[in-house]
Chain A
Amino acid sequence: MKREFDVLVIGAGIVGTACTLELAKTGLTVAVLEGDTVGSGATAAGMGHIVVMDDSPAQLALTRYSQLLWDELVQSDPRPHEYHPCGTLWLAADAEEMAGVELKQELYLSHGIPCQPIGREELYRMEPNVRPGLEGGFLVPGDSVVYPPSSAAYLLSKAKNFDTTFIRGQVTELVPGGVRLADGATLKAENVVVAGGWNSKKLLPELPMRAKKGHLVITDRYPDFVKHQLVEMAYIKNAHASEGDSVAFNVQPRPTGQVLIGSSRQYDREDASIDFAILGVMLRQAFGYMPGLAELSTIRVWTGIRPATPDGLPLIGPYPAQAGVWLATGHEGLGITTALGTARLLAAQLTGQPAEIATEPYLPARFSEELAHV
């Protein structure tokens, strides 16, 4: 096996495989290292919702940029991704949230993102199983759903058309000019990209990320029970409390007719076990919006760890504390959506080419104070 590369990418999740493909396209020799299976970790745990989010202008820029890249990727063949263009329907429970819809519409239109406020009657025509008494909604038809482990495998298969190597092995340490593996072997590269999601913290404990654990539930098949990805308008408020446990209503139709039910957030919880207390709170929140969910039978519950940075934006770019080390992690709950944009931004920086959107908001150097304590 070859032991020297231009770039080593640590992690074959959605971000690592996307970075591998983008870097390989530039003509670099790339090896991608994975200790588990391709597309495991948070890639397998997440919903696979390709969604525009607008917590901050930088988040909107990266999610929209990435979404257009996804559209391009699935255009030639949507099947390997189990692509489902179901759109997102944000649910407004009261007049205050409906006022939020107006603001959202203004913002989206100013960025050229197709969207449409939905009145009460139309809402119940579109989603008859939503509880009565809601005020309305906000439809973002360009949002979609993929099955992320399949997408990661697809990206890796495309990377194999270039000079890439897939290496199964657990990286235990970054060493000058390369990495050391659990079996003691050393691999050399001029550049190392850390794209291991939450596990990146094991290699670089000083990274400004906290674990944000989530639970998901999947039901048996009930075709047409829900037709759009449904998210409560209060999602951002509920999902971004900086302390404590929280839940938010977020339900997705899978192409099989199954229903994926979320979502929960628990800071600093790294174990994979199911917390039945928060699971109960999460499901009650879901039943509050869709009472019929309580009648469906579920077949599986699982958890995943989101790597959350203090400002909710990922870490994409050079690691300030060590030359030759690059970061592509810290994507919190948006790693699937922003993987393709992340890969483009990282490849542009690594090869010294101009990027298509501003890279500054995502540079790890914005946390140089925290990183200086290494």
Chain B
Amino acid sequence: MSEIKLRVNNREITVKENTILAAALANAGIAVFRESVQGEPRTFLCGMGICYECRVTVNGAPNRLSCQVLCENGMEVTTSEAVLPTGEAGRE
């Protein structure tokens, strides 16, 4: 299986072809995908396009469901830069 490269928050990551974006982000150590209206950290939950918790910006388009997007070579992804309030789990 060939490998592809994408940029997540200006950092290059390498994943296998046909990787789901949410999984790629989680594997890259990103714990906070986005923030709620009140600024609370949010991450993917259902993994099947229902809960809308995994929204990220993909190639400039905000609010894409990362659990429904396949990684593509050269893809630019932006997530929240926040870390979990408790510390450890959110650190890269």
**A299 close to B37 (CB less than 8 A):** no
**A299 close to B61 (CB less than 8 A):** no
**A222 close to B61 (CB less than 8 A):** no
**A220 close to B61 (CB less than 8 A):** no
**Which residue of chain A has the shortest Cβ distance to B65 in the bound complex?**
A297
The A/B interface has a contact count, at CB < 8 Å, of 14
Mask of B38-56 contacts with A, CB within 8 angstroms, 1/0? 0000000000000010010
Task: Report the Cα distance A299→B53, complex, angstroms.
Answer: 13
Chain B, interface SS category: strand
**B61 close to A295 (CB less than 8 A):** yes
B63 at interface by CB-CB < 8 Å: yes
Task: Report the Cα distance A221→B57, complex, angstroms.
Answer: 12
Residues in A with CB closer than 8 Å to B63 are 220-222, 296-297
Residues in A with CB closer than 8 Å to B55 are 220
**B62 close to A299 (CB less than 8 A):** no
**B37 close to A256 (CB less than 8 A):** yes
Nearest CB of B to A226, in Å: 14
Nearest CB of A to B59, in Å: 12
Task: Report the Cα distance A316→B79, complex, angstroms.
Answer: 52
**A221 close to B37 (CB less than 8 A):** yes
Nearest CB of B to A145, in Å: 16
**A217-248 CB contacts (< 8 Å) to partner B:** 220-222
Mask of A276-302 contacts with B, CB within 8 angstroms, 1/0? 000000000000000000011101000
Residues in B with CB closer than 8 Å to A221 are 37, 62-63
Nearest CB of B to A255, in Å: 9
Residues of A at under 8 Å CB distance from B?
Answer: 220-222, 256, 295-297, 299
Residues of B at under 8 Å CB distance from A?
Answer: 37, 52, 55, 61-63
Q: Enumerate 10 A-B pairs (CB-CB under 8 Å) in ascending A order.
A: A220-B55, A220-B62, A220-B63, A221-B37, A221-B62, A222-B63, A295-B61, A296-B63, A297-B63, A299-B52
Besides A220-B55, A256-B37, A297-B63, 4 more A-B contacts (Cβ < 8 Å) are: A220-B52, A220-B62, A221-B37, A296-B63
Closest 8 CB pairs of A and B: A220-B63, A256-B37, A297-B63, A222-B62, A221-B63, A295-B61, A220-B55, A222-B63
